[in-house]
């Protein structure tokens, strides 16, 4: 997909008049120029953006865009929405398959946030990122698409109506880019956020940060190198003080499976009679049931639409880890399997990060597991590299001086659950950096050490 960014800009001289209570006229001019400059820079660095078109009557703004290698159109001073429409027509004529329309005053503009926004969009229907005040912070629209831009006060609702005129479903996008810099209060809030990020406690507490910029993963992608690049970016540009060897990078299983080709086309599956019977009884897809059974070395229980199995990895979980969620636009036609060697995948990612940054943090591959006798799911570590999955506290004194006899902490699983809280389940963010967990370094670390030995299992 070729995404062209449309960047409307009125004038360095007249922009940001609402900042007058806080900034002088000269300061507002400087502020406007810097906003434009940093937005052009972020778009130029974004891997997801193929081309940038600035639409502006301001010759200084157009010159700044061209100096960065971008296109610049003189809109002749037409209103904002007419200028955006001009840019969209130009992008369509140039063969773009989608446009990203955004203003220059987004508080959290960065290449990583832009890439995360685009990668979180399906690409099939228009996408809308609403601002906190009901305006529009960004539009992603597949081309060709006949629509009239509606930027202005309360434009999010107007855009939803306009973009759905032909029956299209408008995707609600989620991104830090939603916040803008339009008023003195916006600027103060942005400065407070910056101070909060810039001063994490270096030794106390726990820090969990999403790592953006990865984009949509395809089979055959060099995922370790891609992850290493994203980690190097956050380590080099954020205020976390650089990557540390006791940091842990959490990677969701889904992108590992995609990159390694652990994907099954359901059209190639012929279900066995047992799978058809079970699927018919409980309203499931018989092809998915067949894949679940193929991936199992042991079926623990099949009842009430639930299939609990043991896989070749030794994991006991629902559906052999076969998953039809978050697989992209072909949802319902493909499923992902667990990586064949999650520990090996984690080791490859760790080595790529070491080669890129000179630092070898811990790496875990995470997936969602249910828990016996408790409702809800939580992420656990199915692959581990560089850290011990368990911390054995047996024989050590507790807070009262008594020797602990049975305490073994599932450190890797605890880190996986922490990463899940930072990433969420619907934001399409597959990477997180966890600091402060202080796992034990172990070059031979493996998720297999977390598996219950069969002779310890009272329910087998």
| pLDDT, tens only, 266-299 | 999 999 999 999 999 999 999 999 999 999 999 9
- Flag whether pLDDT at 126 surpasses 70: yes
280 lies in some domain: yes
- Report residue 376 CA to chain centroid gap: 22
Q: Are 214 and 120 in contact (CB under 8 A)?
A: no
What pLDDT, on the 0 to 100 scale, is given for residue 69?
87
What pLDDT, on the 0 to 100 scale, is given for residue 196?
47
Question: Is the domain of 151 the same as that of 66?
Answer: yes
What integer is the mean pLDDT of 97-116? 91
Question: Is the domain of 323 the same as that of 363?
Answer: no
Question: Is the domain of 227 the same as that of 357?
Answer: yes
Question: Is the domain of 68 the same as that of 141?
Answer: yes
Query: SS3 helix, strand, coil % of the chain, rounded to 5?
Result: 35, 20, 40
User: Which residues are CB-neighbours of 123 under 8 A, at least 6 positions away?
Assistant: 1, 98, 140, 142, 329
Question: Is the domain of 140 the same as that of 204?
Answer: no
- Flag whether pLDDT at 200 surpasses 70: no
Nearest Cα to 186, choosing from 143, 121, 131? 131
What integer is the mean pLDDT of 370-396? 88
Domain with 417, as residue range(s), is 200-260+339-456
User: Which residues are CB-neighbours of 460 under 8 A, at least 6 positions away?
Assistant: 454
- Could you tell me the CA-to-CA distances from 218 to 38, 122, 288, 363 in Å, in that order? 30, 14, 21, 21
- Flag whether pLDDT at 339 surpasses 70: yes
- Omega within 30 of 0 (cis) for the link into 446: no
195 lies in some domain: no
Question: Is the domain of 8 the same as that of 46?
Answer: yes
User: In degrees, to the nearest 5, what angle opens at C-alpha 245 toward C-alphas 244 and 250?
Assistant: 90
H or E element: which one contains 172? strand 171-172
> Across all residues in the chain, what is the average pLDDT?
87
What residues does 251 pair with on adjacent strands? Answer: 365, 431
Question: Is the domain of 132 the same as that of 32?
Answer: yes
Work out how many domains the chain is built from and give that number. 3
Retrieve residue 184's tokens: 């003195």
Point out the least confidently predicted range of 43-52, 180-189, 219-228, 444-453: 180-189
């Amino acid at each position: 997909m070729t995404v062209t960014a449309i960047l409307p800009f009125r004038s360095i001289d007249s922009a940001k008049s609402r900042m007058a209570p806080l900034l002088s006229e000269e300061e507002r001019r400087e502020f406007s120029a810097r906003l434009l400059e940093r937005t052009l820079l972020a778009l130029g660095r974004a891997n997801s953006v193929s081309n940038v078109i600035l639409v502006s009557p301001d010759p200084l703004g157009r010159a700044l865009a061209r100096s960065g290698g971008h296109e610049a159109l003189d809109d002749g001073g037409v209103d904002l929405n007419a200028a955006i429409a001009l840019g969209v027509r130009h992008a369509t004529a140039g063969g773009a398959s989608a446009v990203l329309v955004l203003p220059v005053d987004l508080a959290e503009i960065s290449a990583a946030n832009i890439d995360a926004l685009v990668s979180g969009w399906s690409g099939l229907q228009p996408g809308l990122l609403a601002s906190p005040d009901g305006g529009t912070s960004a539009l992603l629209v597949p081309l060709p698409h006949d629509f009239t831009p509606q930027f202005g006060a309360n434009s999010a609702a107007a855009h939803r109506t306009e973009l759905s005129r032909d029956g299209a479903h408008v995707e609600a996008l989620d991104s830090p880019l939603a916040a803008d810099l339009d008023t003195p209060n916006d600027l103060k809030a942005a400065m407070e956020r910056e101070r909060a990020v810039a001063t994490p406690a270096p030794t106390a507490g726990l820090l969990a940060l999403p790592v953006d910029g990865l984009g949509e993963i395809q089979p055959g992608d060099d995922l370790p190198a891609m992850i290493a690049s994203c980690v190097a970016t956050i380590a080099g540009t954020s205020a976390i003080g650089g990557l540390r060897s006791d940091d842990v990078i959490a990677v969701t299983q889904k992108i590992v499976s995609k990159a390694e080709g652990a994907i099954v086309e359901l059209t190639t599956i012929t279900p066995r009679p047992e799978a058809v019977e079970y699927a018919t009884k409980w309203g499931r897809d018989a092809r998915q049931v067949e894949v679940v059974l193929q991936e199992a070395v042991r079926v623990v229980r099949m009842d009430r639409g639930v299939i609990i199995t043991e896989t070749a990895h030794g994991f006991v979980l629902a559906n052999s880890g076969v998953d039809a969620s978050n697989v992209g636009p072909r949802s319902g036609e493909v499923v992902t399997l667990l990586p064949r060697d999650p520990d090996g995948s984690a080791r490859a990612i760790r080595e790529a990060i070491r080669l890129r940054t000179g630092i070898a943090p811990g790496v875990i591959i995470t997936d969602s597991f249910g828990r016996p006798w408790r409702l809800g799911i939580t992420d656990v570590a199915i692959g581990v590299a560089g850290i011990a999955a368990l911390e054995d506290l047996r024989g050590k004194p507790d807070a009262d001086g008594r020797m602990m006899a049975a305490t073994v902490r599932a450190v890797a699983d605890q880190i996986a659950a922490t990463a899940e809280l930072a990433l969420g389940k619907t934001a399409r963010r597959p990477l997180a950096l966890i600091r402060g967990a202080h796992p034990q370094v172990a070059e031979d670390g493996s998720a297999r050490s977390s598996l219950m030995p069969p002779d310890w299992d009272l329910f087998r």
